[in-house]
Amino acid sequence: MIGHDHGGPAGYGQPGASTGSTYVPPPAPSPFPQPAPQPSAKPRTSLAVALEQSRYRLMVTAAVVTTVFTAISVKLAMATLLAGGGEPRQHVALEVGDTTTNRADITDRNGNLLATSLVTQSLYADPKLVSRPEEAAQKLVGALPDLDYKDVLGKLSGDRRFVWLKRNLTPKQQAAVHRLGIPGVAFEREERRFYPAGPLTSHIVGFTGIDNNGLAGMEQGFNKRLTEEPGTPLQLSIDLRLQHVLKKELAATVQEFSAIGAAGIVFDVRNGEVLSMVSLPDFDPQDPTGLVPDTLFNRATLGVYEMGSTFKIFNSALAFDTGKIRVSDMFDAAHPVKIGRFTINDYHNLHRALTVAEVFQHSSNLGSVRMVQQVGVAAQKAFMTKMGFTKPTGLELPESGWPLVPNPWREVNSYTISFGHGISVSPMHTVAAAASVINGGLFHKPTLLKRQPDGEIPTEQVVSRQTSDMMRRMFRFVVTEGTGKSAEVKGYVVGGKTGTADKQKGKHYQKNSRMSSFLGAFPMNDPRYIVYVLVDEPQATKKTYGYATGGWVAAPAVGRIVKQIGPLLNVPMVDENTPEILNSTYLNAAGSTNWQQSLPPVTAPPPAKGSTVASFPTQTKPR
């Protein structure tokens, strides 16, 4: 059967479609409007591409700028709102944390500051950053008048990247430069050494250079210790109170006798501590540059001199210690001693034989020579070596002199050495050796460091206790009956020995150029301290009747010093005529130590006026 034609499209059962195909109805029309067909896209031009890239770059730049300004805003908010706003605090002084120094303090035995370091600012410049050197130099000289304009200008105009303009500014100077606001000029933190005692301890403490390194005194001797242990002060044995007294009296003596200088030492004979040491003239350690060498010269430790009659201390100790000579032995002091072309005589010849006690009392050169003749050259050399006179003292100061000793040590040398000529040693040599002669025979190496109470004291027995006991009596005898009477201080049992030596200039001795000294000690019943005074080239005065010897010049100064420092050292005053004191200090010209034999005989009181018979006590009946 032939189907009817429905007028559908081919393939959907319309006529012409293949027989047996399935019919699918057409899709229903969409209720939404259909978009108009797009025309085909045109190709992009180079201008459009460039505009698109520029737009992208502007967006990235805007994002970066926004981020940066956001960070700045946050920082400002933190600095103002969160950290507390207001005016910045004015720095009147350095922060406490900035005052730590790199060099230890130096103190006396009681903790008084002798040297300390202060933090300072130093001015420097980088010439490459200074745009107008002439203007900058003019401003700097205006703020710091001690600067030289040409010098500053030359530094600021140079090719270097670092130049110092001024070291160690004061706070006021630093503020003045800071206000100038000169580009290329800045400050560097440094340290400056400060010496509160000034010249008083200059020859002990010394000084440092511009870079704070020690150049003299304990500053140099302990430079490594002071820098490696900056937090631990270096404590010296010096007592600043004694230092004041010693310098005052030395200065007065120098002025009175128109001397060119002086030296003084206060020494503890029990442990070797130097309690005070002064050398005049002295200097200001704050500004040691430009001074004459004489002010920097330490007469107490570096200077070596022929000590004159103070060396009779050691000649007498040698004589006693050999056992060959006793204090009562007599020696010819009437006839000069001739050796070769030299003649030895006494300053005041008594024209008679003298006991050893009188040789010491009157400071006889002839008696001293006779004594060493009996002892021998070898024994003298060995003894002087044992007393430390052939090497430096070992004191901690770098300014320590080497003794000048004869080589070879001949007979003529032994003669002159017996009375203090022909050998040159420092005052410190003399004091340390004398201490061992009177302290029981124990030699203590001198030190400027305070010894610890429980510390070990280096000790060497150099003379016997018997010799030391006799030397104490000899010391006391010189002050009570000899050339040192003007050193006497009531209550302190002072002893000692005078010394006067002509100074050698060239090959000859100058008659009116001398070293006058006195080595005093107290109390002689139990020696504790030595006070030594040396005056360089004193001139005689009317008050001294034309004399400028140790007994007239140095002994009175020692007496004044003892009187003032005795109370400071807690030395009790005693009655020098009590049996206890006399038993340990008495000696007479004959060499006797028995003070009771010298007492005047006890006589009966005179009878009453008009009586012709002796009166006797009568017994009374008990009541």
Give yes or no for residue 607 having a pLDDT over 60. Answer: no
Q: Is residue 387 part of a domain?
A: yes
In a domain, 254, yes or no: yes
Residue 533 in this model has a pLDDT that exceeds 50: yes
Residue 43 pLDDT? 61
At residue 291, the pLDDT reads 74
Question: Across 170-174, 290-294, 494-498, which has the greatest mean pLDDT?
Answer: 494-498
Q: Is the pLDDT of residue 623 over 70?
A: no
| More confident call, 494 vs 2 | 494
Report d(CA 326, CA 124) in Å as an integer.
74
* CB distance 202 to 286 below 8 Å: no
- Helix ranges (H only) for 275-364 are 293-296, 312-322, 356-362
Q: How far apart are CA 177 and CA 197, in angstroms?
A: 31
Specify if 320 maps to a domain. yes
Has residue 64 got a pLDDT over 60? yes
Span of 142-151, 170-179, 503-512 with lowest mean pLDDT: 503-512
Length of the chain: 623
Mean pLDDT is lowest, of 11-15, 39-43, 140-144, 338-342, for 11-15
Mean pLDDT of 111-139: 92
**CA pair distance 303, 338, nearest whole angstrom:** 31
C-alpha 545 chain-centroid distance? 40
Res. 89 pLDDT band, cuts 50 70 90: very low
- Kindly state the average pLDDT of the residues 524-529: 97
Rounded distance between C-alpha atoms, residue 130 and residue 122, angstroms: 18
> Catalytic site residues?
309
pLDDT digits (tens, 9 = 90+) for 419-466: 999 999 999 999 999 999 999 999 999 999 999 988 889 999 999 999
Looking at the predicted structure, is the pLDDT value of residue 86 above 50?
A: no
Q: Is residue 567 part of a domain?
A: yes
**Is 473 inside a domain boundary?**
yes
Looking at residue 475, its pLDDT comes to: 98
**Residue 427 belongs to what H/E stretch?**
helix 427-438
pLDDT of 37: 54
Q: What is the pLDDT of residue 334?
A: 93
The pLDDT of residue 98: 52
Please give the torsion angle defined by the CA atoms of residues 246, 568, 491 and 444, in that order, rounded to the nearest 10 degrees: -70
Write the DSSP assignment of 18-69 as a string of letters.
PTTPPP-PPPPPPSSPPPPPPPPPPPPPHHHHHHHHHHHHHHHHHHHHHHHH
Residue 555 vs residues 34, 253, 552: alpha-carbon distances, Å: 137, 11, 6
At residue 14, what is the residue type? Q
Residue 281 carries which DSSP code? S
The total number of structural domains in the chain stands at: 1
**Which pLDDT band, with edges at 50, 70 and 90, does 58 fall under?**
confident
Q: Tell me the per-residue pLDDT of 366-382, one tens digit each, with 9 for 90 and over.
A: 999 999 999 999 999 99
- pLDDT top residue among 66 and 574: 574
Q: What is the pLDDT of residue 30?
A: 53
| Of residues 428, 466, 190, the one with CA closest to residue 298 | 428
Contacts of 443 (CB under 8 A, 6+ apart): 387, 388, 432, 433, 435, 436, 459, 460, 461, 462
Q: Between vectors from CA 344 to CA 424 and to CA 259, what angle results, nearest 5°?
A: 45
Residue 477 domain-assigned (yes or no):
yes
User: Average pLDDT, stretch 509-530?
Assistant: 94
Q: What range defines the domain where residue 381 resides?
A: 248-596
CA distance 253 to 269: 25
Q: 148 lies in a domain?
A: no
Of 261 and 506, the one with more pLDDT: 261
Whether the pLDDT of residue 257 is over 70: the answer is: yes
Q: What would the mean pLDDT of 469-498 be, rounded to a whole number? A: 97
pLDDT band at 26 (very low <50, low <70, confident <90, very high): low
In a domain, 604, yes or no: no
Contact, 267 vs 187, CB < 8 A? no
Domain CATH number, residue 358: 3.40.710.10
Choose between 213 and 509: higher pLDDT.
213
Q: Quick count: other Cβ atoms within 10 Å of Cβ 575?
A: 10
The predicted model gives 164-186 an average pLDDT of 91
